[in-house]
Amino acid sequence: MAEKDAYQASKNYHEDVPPIKQTFHVKGMHHADWGLKDRLSRIFSPRSGRTVMLAFDHGYIMGSTTGLERLDLVIPELAPHADVFMATRGAIRTCVPPTFGKAIALRATAGSSILQDDVTDEVLAVDIEDAIRMNASCVAVQTFIGSKDEKSSIDSLNKAINAGNRYGIATLGVVAVGKQMERTARFFLLATRMLAEFGVHLVKTYYCEDFGKIVAACPVPIVIAGGKKLPEDEALTLAYRAVSDGAAGVDMGRNIFQAGDPAAMTQAIAKVVHENYTDKDAFGFYNDIRQKR
């Protein structure tokens, strides 16, 4: 009888083996609930502890951007080498097949276009129920610390954290730098720590001097934005310095999709982030791929 056999087979309880000690690889998240840890593990590789987030949410403020004119053509080419898609619900739903199995960092704030002089006036635009429908691993909320809209962006951030906490969805706090805002270590030290204390699960900011101090003072992982397009070797140096100083990866857009070879660049960035390649070795790798095409 099948049931009896199964019962007799289940006798090896390994009484002499202590319970497996479980650790968690994401900074500050040891006490998080299972579902949240599952989502964070889709963002941060359990093997390297880091992430390559591909940012292509630029259209929410800029419209069609150089390199992102045809999301349906570009993203599938880059997808195999990225861990996370950071984008708007409109871009993902219309142009990205749900079969790719990537973590989603869903851009959840909006409010201005580049036609405005001041782009700091944003609101929380995406309901948590829609983030759940999108199977988002985290929602991304832009904050404008130091601007006239500081308070409302903090309000949006806390609303997103409260909603996400109800369902185990992480919040990515994005430190925005406006035209009038500083880009100093002093500013990033303040802004990253504020976001972490509000309860975000990961922070996106810019690389700067004394970055190691900013990482040390921030109790959750920090990923760096790429910023304006740089020559490929300099973008790889930026990524290399950031992870060497403790960043848990990159959330990079223009320096990938505007590169001479975006797919090769995504792979080279992944070598730096996940395999500890130096910037020099990664640039060699990038050139090797280009030559083989």
- Which of 174, 208, 222, 273 forms a contact with ligand R5P (CB under 6 A)? 174
Piece of 88-96, 181-189, 207-215, 225-233 that binds ligand R5P (CB under 6 A):
225-233
The count of chain residues that interact with ligand R5P, using the rule CB under 6 A, is 14
Residue 251 lies near ligand R5P (rule: CB under 6 A): yes
User: Which of 36/140 has CB closer to ligand R5P?
Assistant: 140
- Which of 79, 252, 269, 270 forms a contact with ligand R5P (CB under 6 A)? 252
User: Which of 48/142 has CB closer to ligand R5P?
Assistant: 142
Q: Which of 279, 263, 277, 250 is nearest to 52 (CA)?
A: 250
Binding mask 2-41 for ligand R5P (x = CB under 6 A): ----------------------------------------
Burial of 163 (C-beta count, 10 Å sphere; 0-12/13-18/19+): buried
How far is residue 142's CA from residue 153's CA, in Å, rounded to a whole number? 7
Residue 110 neighbours by CB distance under 10 Å: 16
User: Which of 37/245 has CB closer to ligand R5P?
Assistant: 245
Is residue 226 a contact partner of residue 252, using CB atoms and an 8 Å limit?
yes
Minimum CB separation of residue 31 from ligand R5P in Å reads 29
Q: Which residues contact residue 162 at a Cβ distance below 8 angstroms, ignoring those fewer than 6 apart? A: none
Residue 109 lies near ligand R5P (rule: CB under 6 A): no
Burial of 246 (C-beta count, 10 Å sphere; 0-12/13-18/19+): middle
Q: Which residues form the catalytic set? A: 204
Residue 173 lies near ligand R5P (rule: CB under 6 A): no
User: Which of 169/265 has CB closer to ligand R5P?
Assistant: 265
Minimum CB separation of residue 19 from ligand R5P in Å reads 42
- Tokens (6 digits) for 55: 């940012």
Distance from the Cα of residue 148 to its chain's centroid: 26
The bridge status of strand 51-55 relative to strand 138-143 is unpaired
Q: Which residues contribute to the site for ligand R5P (CB under 6 A)?
A: 55, 57-58, 86, 142, 174, 225-227, 251-255
